[in-house]
C-alpha cells in the first residue's frame, strides 16, 4: 500500500476522516487505503447519522457519496447532504464520491462548496493524494481561523490599554461631537495637540466608531523611524533589497490595508520623506523597496502632531500639498489645564485601574487633593496625571489619598496668564527632570515624556542640554 511522504507524522496525531457511503465494501476499502496515513477513519453507511458529528466539527475531511438510494444515479441526494453539512459547518472540507464520473455533478458539487471529487472505482494512489490535499487544505483553513481569532484578541487587548475618551467639560463635549461626525467617513484627519493630551486615544476612538472597526489599527511613530529605514518600515521590502533584508516584509501601509493607519509625529518628517509619503497617499498604492510592482492599499489615514504645521508650511519646512492632503478634517485636543473640571473624572478612572492592577484596596481621593491637582499646570497633560495617580497608588496603602500623598513634579500653582517664555521654562524643566531621573538616558527620558527620539534631540538642542 502506498504511504504518503507529504504528511509529517506530527500532523497525523489528531487527523480524522469521516466517510459516508451506503456500500459497506466501499467503506472497508476506503478505511484500508487511508488508515496508514490518518489516525482515525470513521465510516457511516446512513447519512442520517452524520449530523451530530458535523455539529461537533471534529473531522478534518468528509468523504461523501453522491447516491444513497439503491439504483439512484442523479447525485441529488449527495448534493442535498453537501448543502446540509455546509449549513451546519461552513468551514467543513468535503470531497465527493461518484461511481459514474459525471463531470457535471462534480462541477455542481464544487459550486456548492465541495473541495474536490473522486470517481469510483478509484486508484488507491489517486484517492490517497486527493484526501491528503483536502486534509492539508483543511488544516490551512483552521490555521487561518485561529490566526484571525488571535489577531482579533490581540487587537482587543491592545485597544483595552487605551482607555475610552473621558471628559464632561464643554471642550470635550465639542470633541465628542466632532468624532461622531467624522468617524463613519473616510476623510483624512489631522489631530493636533500637546504631548500627553491623548492623540492616539482619540484616533482609536475614531477607528472604533468607524466601518473599519473590525480591521487593524496600526500606529506608526514617525519620530522614532530612522530616515534610511522610512521606506522599508512604511512600504515594506523584498528579500535581498538591502544587506539585512533576509526575507520579504510587509510595510505598515500594507499591514493596515482596509483598516486605519495613524502616522504620529508627522511634523518630524524631512521634506524628502514628506514627498514619498505624499505620493503613496495620493496614488493609494505603495511600492516595496527592491520591487517595481505597485501594491494598492485601502486605508483610513489619521495623522497627529504637537508641532505647528501651518507655521511650518509658511517657513517651507512642511509641504503645503501634503498638509492639505492629510487634514480634510482638523481636530484640536484641549490641554488638561484647559479642562480642569475633568480632573476628578480622569483621576477616579486611573485610580480604579491602578488599584486593580496593583491589587490594592479601594481608594478615593479627598476634596483637598482634588483642589491641589486642579491648581497644578499639567505640562505633561493626561499622561502626566496618569503617571502621578499610578505612583500615588503604589506608594500608599490607605483608603483615602490626601493632598500630601500627591508629589507633583514642579511648581503646583498655575498662574492664570502664562506667557510663551514661562511655558518654555516649564518644558525645559520637565525635560531636565526626566533626563536626570534616567541618568541622561535619552531614549528612557523620551519614552517617559511621550516623545520620539528625534523630537527629544531637537528639544535638547533648543534648550542647550
Instruction: Map grid coordinates 483642589 to a residue.
Output: 371
* Cα gap 381→197, rounded to integer Å: 5
Say whether 378 sits in a helix, a strand or coil.
Answer: coil
* Cα gap 442→434, rounded to integer Å: 9
* Cα gap 460→454, rounded to integer Å: 10
* Cα gap 231→121, rounded to integer Å: 57
Angstrom CA distances, 22 to 65, 77, 101, 346, 373, stand at 8, 12, 18, 68, 79
* CB proximity list for 442: less than 8 A, separation 6 or greater: 435, 453, 456, 457, 460
* Cα gap 283→294, rounded to integer Å: 10
How many whole angstroms from its chain centre is CA 345?
Answer: 29
* Cα gap 199→303, rounded to integer Å: 9
Q: By the 8 A CB rule, do 175 and 165 touch?
A: yes
Q: Identify the pLDDT of residue 154.
A: 56
Q: Give 141-187 as a DSSP string.
A: HHHHHHHHHHHHHHHHHHHHTSPPP---SHHHHHHHHHHHHHTTS--
* Cα gap 337→320, rounded to integer Å: 31
Query: Which contacts (CB < 8 Å, 24+ apart) does range 45-48 have?
Result: 45/20, 45/21, 46/22, 47/20, 47/77, 47/81
What value, to the nearest 5°, has the Cα angle with vertex 361 and ends 357 and 363? 95
Q: Closest by alpha carbon to 464, among 437, 438, 432?
A: 432
Q: Identify the pLDDT of residue 57.
A: 85
* Cα gap 446→438, rounded to integer Å: 10
Identify the structural domains of the chain with CATH numbers, from first to last.
Answer: 9-145 (3.40.50.2300), 162-332 (3.40.50.300), 339-463 (1.10.8.60)
Which stretches of the chain drop beneath a pLDDT of 70?
1-14, 70-73, 100-101, 146-163, 410-423
Angle between helices 170-182 and 199-208 (to 10 degrees): 40
The three cell numbers locating residue 271: 521634506
Query: Pairing state of beta strands 249-250 and 294-296?
Result: unpaired
The three cell numbers locating residue 393: 497608588
Assign residue 210 a region: left if phi > 0, alpha if psi is -120 to 50, beta otherwise?
beta
* Cα gap 195→172, rounded to integer Å: 17
Say whether 205 sits in a helix, a strand or coil.
Answer: helix
Q: How many CA atoms lie within 13 A of 414 on its CB side?
A: 15
Q: Closest by alpha carbon to 59, among 121, 116, 141?
A: 141
Q: By the 8 A CB rule, do 441 and 465 touch?
A: no
* Cα gap 431→84, rounded to integer Å: 67
| Other Cβ atoms within 10 Å of 342 Cβ, number | 20
Its pTM stands at 0.61
Q: Closest by alpha carbon to 274, among 237, 236, 231?
A: 231
Q: Identify the pLDDT of residue 12.
A: 56
Instruction: Map grid coordinates 495623522 to a residue.
Output: 303
* Cα gap 318→322, rounded to integer Å: 8
Q: Closest by alpha carbon to 288, among 246, 249, 257, 242?
A: 249
Amino acid at each position: 500500500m502506498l504511504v504518503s511522504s507529504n504528511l509529517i507524522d506530527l500532523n497525523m496525531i489528531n487527523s480524522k476522516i469521516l466517510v459516508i457511503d451506503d456500500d459497506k465494501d466501499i467503506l472497508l476499502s476506503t478505511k484500508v487505503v487511508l488508515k496508514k496515513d490518518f489516525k482515525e477513519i470513521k465510516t457511516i453507511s446512513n447519512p442520517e447519522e452524520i449530523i451530530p458529528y458535523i455539529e461537533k466539527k471534529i473531522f478534518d475531511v468528509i468523504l461523501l457519496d453522491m447516491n444513497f438510494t439503491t439504483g439512484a444515479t442523479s447525485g441529488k441526494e449527495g448534493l442535498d447532504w453537501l448543502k446540509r453539512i455546509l449549513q451546519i459547518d461552513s468551514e467543513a472540507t468535503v470531497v465527493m464520491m461518484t461511481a459514474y464520473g459525471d463531470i457535471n455533478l462534480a462541477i455542481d458539487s464544487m459550486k456548492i462548496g465541495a473541495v474536490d471529487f473522486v470517481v469510483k472505482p478509484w486508484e488507491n494512489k489517486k484517492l490517497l493524494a486527493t484526501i491528503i490535499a483536502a486534509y492539508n487544505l483543511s488544516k490551512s483553513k483552521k490555521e487561518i481561523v485561529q490566526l484571525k481569532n488571535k489577531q482579533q484578541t490581540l487587537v482587543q487587548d491592545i485597544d483595552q490599554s487605551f482607555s475610552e475618551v473621558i471628559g464632561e467639560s464643554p471642550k470635550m463635549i465639542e470633541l465628542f461631537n466632532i468624532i461622531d461626525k467624522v468617524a463613519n467617513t473616510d476623510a483624512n484627519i489631522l489631530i493636533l495637540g500637546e504631548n500627553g493630551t491623548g492623540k492616539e486615544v482619540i484616533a482609536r476612538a475614531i477607528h472604533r466608531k468607524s466601518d473599519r472597526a473590525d480591521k487593524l489599527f496600526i500606529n506608526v511613530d514617525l519620530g522614532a523611524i530612522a530616515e534610511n529605514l522610512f521606506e522599508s518600515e512604511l512600504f515594506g521590502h523584498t528579500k535581498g533589497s538591502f544587506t539585512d533584508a533576509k526575507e520579504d516584509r510587509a510595510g505598515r501601509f500594507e499591514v493596515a490595508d482596509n483598516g486605519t493607519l495613524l502616522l504620529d509625529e508627522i511634523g518630524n518628517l524631512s521634506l524628502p520623506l514628506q514627498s514619498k509619503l505624499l505620493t503613496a497617499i495620493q496614488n493609494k498604492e505603495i511600492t516595496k523597496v527592491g520591487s517595481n510592482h505597485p501594491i494598492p492599499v485601502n486605508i483610513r489615514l489619521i495623522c497627529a502632531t504637537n508641532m505647528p504645521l501651518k507655521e511650518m508650511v509658511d517657513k517651507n519646512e512642511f509641504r503645503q500639498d501634503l498638509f492639505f492632503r492629510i487634514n480634510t478634517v482638523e481636530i484640536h485636543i484641549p490641554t488638561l489645564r484647559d479642562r480642569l473640571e475633568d480632573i476628578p473624572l480622569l483621576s477616579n478612572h486611573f485610580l480604579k485601574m491602578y488599584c486593580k492592577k496593583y491589587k490594592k484596596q479601594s481608594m478615593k481621593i479627598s476634596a483637598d487633593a482634588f483642589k491641589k491637582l486642579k491648581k497644578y499646570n499639567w505640562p505633561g497633560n493626561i499622561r502626566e496625571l496618569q503617571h502621578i495617580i499610578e505612583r500615588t497608588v503604589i506608594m500608599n496603602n490607605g483608603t483615602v489619598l490626601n493632598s500630601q500623598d500627591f508629589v507633583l513634579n514642579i511648581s503646583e500653582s498655575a498662574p492664570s496668564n502664562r506667557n510663551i517664555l514661562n511655558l518654555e521654562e516649564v518644558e525645559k524643566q520637565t525635560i531636565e527632570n526626566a533626563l536626570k531621573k534616567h541618568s541622561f538616558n535619552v531614549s528612557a527620558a523620551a519614552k517617559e515624556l511621550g516623545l520620539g527620539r528625534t523630537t527629544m534631540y531637537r528639544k535638547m538642542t533648543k534648550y542647550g542640554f
